[in-house]
Amino acid sequence: MKKLGSQTIKFENPPSIIGTATIVGPKEGQGRFKEYYDLILKDSIYQEKSWEKAETKILKEAVEMAIKNSKVPTDKIEYLIAGDLLNQIISAGFAARELGLPFLGIYGACSTIAQGALLGSMIVDGGFAENLVAAVSSHFCTAERQFRFPLELGNQRKPTSQWTVTGAGAMVISSQIQNPRITFATVGKVIDMGEADPNDMGTAMAPAAVDTILRHFQDTGKTPDDYDLILTGDLGSIGKHIAEELLKQKGYDISNKYSDCGVLIFYPEQDVHAGASGCACAAVVTCGYIYKEMLNGKYNRVLLVATGALMSTTSTQQGETIPCIAHAISIENL
């Protein structure tokens, strides 16, 4: 059996990440991981007529670049698993229209890269494909229009709000044996602790991240000592603190090896308030910094716990609370 406990998968032949690509906007390009991105855009419109078109273009180019970096010929890529934050995941669908790859569109809000990587790993380990791409994108300007207010309104951002990362991350997952590899995956449950403020996603998502981390440890029998780094997706400074405290209450002190992509991407001086968010947040850190530093051997065992908030503007307007999810994948050098 490849299943451990109630929610975790142990891959029998752990699929490899054989190539990645990251493209980010100019603000992200001034952030902490600037040397790790493959392409930093000069402006977030990227010579397109709308931000939505720009996001599609970024995603498409990230997929092409990841395939190129993996050195697998494009006709040997069997699936594209992709998602984004917009209604009907148009960035992914429209990028797939250009790419001409068999396409599985997924939505996990900001957890999508982990969802894509775990589904992709199941497909590869299951023997249904040799090579596939998992990719996501997000864009500050399209996400503001989608979830908050269009930029034209010129609204002030709340101190608890997070900055949606403009960018795309793509990884080629393959049955070729090569480090780093995806060894375990824990599929999260939807957790809703009753938080309803869409300007404070970190607080809403932290319990989901904690639930998945605890489940991962219980299912696998692993402890925080089995990892060099535990990385949540986009809890931001507020959510990260809550997650740490909740885990401490449950008897897991991970503070010395725990960080959050949303906290790391931007420098504090960049004044993005509570940190970064968006599908691209966990994706560009994983496909950029983490992947490259795993190749260099700085990290050998990383647990990525990408978090997502599954609300829409309609549910928010109707006063619904925010259901949240977190999926975990173990990425290891074997």
Residues found near another protein in the complex (CB under 8 A): 25, 27, 43-44, 140-141, 149-156, 158-159, 166, 197, 199-200
Q: Which helix (H) or strand (E) element contains residue 19?
A: strand 16-24
DSSP of 163-193, one letter per residue?
EEPPEEEEEEEESS--SSEEEEEEPPPPB--
Least distance to another protein, CB of residue 42, Å: 13
- 40 or 214: CB nearest another protein: 40
Strands 131-138 and 79-83: parallel
Least distance to another protein, CB of residue 37, Å: 18
Treating both helix axes as pointing N-terminal to C-terminal, what angle do 236-249 and 201-220 enclose, rounded to 10 degrees?
40
- 192 or 244: CB nearest another protein: 192
Least distance to another protein, CB of residue 213, Å: 28
- 56 or 212: CB nearest another protein: 56
d(CA 329, CA 326): 10
Structure tokens at 242: 């809550």
Measuring CA to CA, how many Å separate 22 from each of 33, 157, 289, 299? 11, 27, 10, 19
- 206 or 331: CB nearest another protein: 206
Least distance to another protein, CB of residue 233, Å: 21
Instruction: Please say whether the beta carbons of 328 and 188 come within 8 A.
Output: yes
Least distance to another protein, CB of residue 81, Å: 28
- 1 or 153: CB nearest another protein: 153
Q: Cis check for the bond before 198: say yes or no (omega within 30 of 0).
A: no
Least distance to another protein, CB of residue 32, Å: 19
Helices and strands: H and E segment counts in the chain: 10, 15
- 296 or 317: CB nearest another protein: 317
